[in-house]
Amino acid sequence: MLLGIDLGTGSAKALLLATDGTTIGEASSSYPVHSPHPGWAESEPEDWWLAVASAVRKAVGDRADGVQAIALSGQMHGVVLASESGQPLRPAILWADTRSSATLNTYHSLDAAILERLGNPITAGMAGPTLLWLREHEATVYTEARWALQPKDWLRLRLTGEVATEPSDASGTLLYDIVSDNWAGEAIGALNLRGDWLPEIIPSSAISGYLTTIASENLGLPVGLPVIAGAADTAAAALGNGLLEPGLVQLTIGTGAQIITPRSQPIIDRHGRTHLYRAAVPNQWYSLAAMQNAGLALEWVRGILGLSWQEVYTKAFSVPPGCEGLTFLPYLTGERTPHLDPYVRGAWVGLGLHHTQAHLMRAALEGVAFALRQGFEALEATGFKATELRLAGGGTAEMPWKQLLTDVLRIPLYSTTVAAASGRGAALLAGIGIGVYADANDTIKLAATPMLAATPQSVDPILEEAWFRYQSLYPRLKKMS
Cα–Cα distance measured from residue 200 to residue 450, given in angstroms and rounded to the nearest whole number: 37
Q: List the alpha helices (DSSP H) in 89-196.
A: 104-108, 112-118, 127-137, 139-144, 151-160, 167-170, 185-191
For residues 96 and 41, the answer to whether their CB atoms sit within 8 Å is: yes
Contacts for 391 with CB less than 8 Å, ≥ 6 apart: 250, 251, 253, 402, 405, 413, 414, 415, 416
- For residue 59, the one-letter residue type is A
- For residue 79, the one-letter residue type is V
Is 233 catalytic? The answer is yes
Helix (H) or strand (E) holding 370: helix 357-380
Distances (CA, A) of 427 to 19, 203, 372: 9, 15, 29
CA nearest neighbour of 405 among 463, 444, 453, 339: 463
* Set 97, 153, 177, 233: catalytic member: 233
CA angle, residues 100, 101, 105, in degrees to nearest 5: 105
Give the CB-side neighbour count of residue 173, counting CA atoms within 13 A: 33
For residues 358 and 319, the answer to whether their CB atoms sit within 8 Å is: yes
Give the CB-side neighbour count of residue 353, counting CA atoms within 13 A: 0
Distances (CA, A) of 449 to 21, 44, 219, 233, 286: 10, 34, 29, 17, 19
Active-site residue numbers?
Answer: 233
